[in-house]
Structure 1
Amino acid sequence: MARNIQSLERAAAVLRLLAGGDRRLGLSDIASTLGLAKGTAHGILRTLQQEGFVEQDPVSGRYQLGAELLRLGNSYLDVHELRARALPWTDDLARASGESVHLGVLHHQGVLIVHHVFRPDDSRQVLEIGAMQPLHSTALGKVLCAVDPVAHAEAAEGDRKALTPATVTEAAEFEQILELTRARGWGSDVEETWDGIASVAAPVRDRRGMPVGAVGVTGAVERLCPGGELRPDLVAAVRDCARAVARDLGAGRF
């Protein structure tokens, strides 16, 4: 059985203590409350301070939670708010399109699937929540790269592997695709990630106009591209879904 790491347990205890109080705490208060030696408590606080999780008041010397911890917490809340706001609209999109719907966010140089609505038929399907998709080849990933500078940089610096014969790996061509995606407001993937599979996606923005994710439909090429081109009604439905979620997040009408 794996053993817990004592230093991490103590750091977590310090953060919980600071989160539970209504005032800043001094080194002696923290050490005595948690039953730690002052030297040990000071070392933990110093490390947390260097990482931005704890701040020290320069006048009183007391400690409080830092901005980095707040940023991480907001990120967690943003993802969960995004998913909660998207639930009814992604259900509607799946029913209207007859295809599976994915909601993804940027995570560790890839696209993390945070919500997945099954294709509304009786076929056997696998839930993909928590799965990672590549940035450079998927519709979700290309949309994020087109509108999010961080995603763009990660895809540009990363290894754009050829996943199928249709995958774009060359830098100049990849940038052209992102320019087109940015200009038209949606991205596509026609057998660039999986043989026989196509997808179309659009970005979701928050109340500040910042990209917070992307939503898209995925299905067999013969259904999404019956004449060799993506069905315009699917593109319109995906964009309408993205706009609806954005409005529920507080974005203005656009």
Structure 2
Amino acid sequence: MPENGGASVQTIDRAASVLRVLASGPSEGLRLADVTAAVGLGKATAHRLLHGLLDVGFVELDTASKRYALGYELFVLGAAARRFQIVDMARPALARLAAGTGDTVYLSVRDGDQALCVDRSTGHYPIRTLTLDVGDRRPLGVGAGSLALLAFQDEAEIARILRDDHAARSPFERFAADRLRDMIRITRATGHAFNDGYIVGAMAAVGVPVLDETGKAVAALSIAAIRERMQEARRAELAEALRSEADRLSRMLATNRPDETGAEQTREELS
């Protein structure tokens, strides 16, 4: 028999309380007794709520330790909500970068094990590198923005993706797992990813992560140009311009509001 309206609201409220307790708990999760004590529910009620949340992927259970933790589906929902927010926040940054460099600028976010292009801005240089359309996807690690996203995940997640996503990367011969590990190491060391014509031979790109408060990449900004415009000195300048805008976006996401300090205009064009 369906629950009445009051009971349904109460169930939602209790489920939300359970999720908040798990979110504030240790990374290894909480036992049923811990959840019961923190939420103030009976053991049977807490157990029923946890397993209902387990069924829809909002909670995960480590069967060895009997500990409950937040599930991957909550990450997916959170990433989807943040995706729409970051597109609006990043649009002025894309416009500034495109105007200051003359090249094409991309904004990508993580969508599962893929990088999703969610916005693009083109500069004034006559040869445009439109290698991605808004809505295009690539396996994580394939391309400058996608590599920046992958390199700044935690080690266990990177290992899983490199292990499980081989088939998705197979059309991109230059991005085999062993080579990607080297790319990730270099990207972490320099703070930016570089794609030196590995997808389209005449085109190169540099990308940087937009980090959340934990240091994990939630988005990436990248600039693509013909390879002749990606010589080492200019590439370093582009990476610095990208990093400045990415840091600004990170601050905006952390405070959930536009940056009130005002964005500095590019002092001299990099084109």
TM-score, normalised relative to structure 1: 0.65
Structure 1 residues 82 and 221: CA distance shift in structure 2, 3 A:
same
Gap change, CA 1:134 and 1:247, over 3 Å in 2: same
Distance in 1, Cα, partners of 2:243 & 2:177: 28
Residue equivalent to 2:219: 213
Identity %: 21
1:115 to 119, 136, 153: 119
Match of 2:170 among 150, 158, 161: 161
**Secondary structure of 2:194's aligned partner:** strand
Aligned to 1:234: 238
Equivalent residue number for residue 142 of structure 1: 147
Structure 1: segments with no counterpart, 5+ residues: 1-13, 26-46, 56-65
Task: Give 1:156 deviation, angstroms.
Answer: 4.0
2-structure distance, mates of 1:94, 1:54:
39
Contact 1:224 1:231 in 2 (8 A): yes
Corresponding residue SS for 2:135: coil
Contact 2:102 2:122 in 1 (8 A): no
Kept in 2, the 8 Å contact 1:134–1:141? The answer is yes
* Corresponding residue number in structure 2 for 1:183: 189
In 1, distance between residues paired with 2:142 and 2:75?
Answer: 29
Partner SS state of residue 250, structure 1: helix
Q: For the aligned residues, what is the CA RMSD?
A: 3.5
Classify the secondary structure of the residue corresponding to 2:240.
helix
Secondary structure of 1:231 counterpart? helix
CA-CA distance at 1:212 after TM superposition = 0.7
Q: Map 1:9-20; keep pairs closer than 5 Å.
A: none
1:199 and 2:205 matched:
yes
Contact (CA 8 Å) 1:143, 1:186: kept in 2 or not? yes
For the structure 1 residues 153 and 127, does the alpha-carbon distance in structure 2 shift closer, same or farther, using more than 3 Å as the test? closer
- Cα separation, partners in 2 of 1:68 and 1:188, compared to 1, 3 Å: closer
Aligned residues: 200
> How many Å separate the matches in 2 of 1:138 and 1:242?
17
Q: Secondary structure in 2 aligned to 1:209?
A: coil
Quick check: 2:108–2:115 contact (8 Å CA) kept in 1? yes
* Contact residue 201 and residue 217 of structure 1 kept, 8 A: yes
- The one-letter code matched in structure 2 to 1:202 is V
Greater displacement, 211-220 / 67-76: 67-76
Shift of 1:249: 1.3
C-alpha distance in 2 between matches for 1:78 and 1:195: 33
- 2:93 is matched with 89
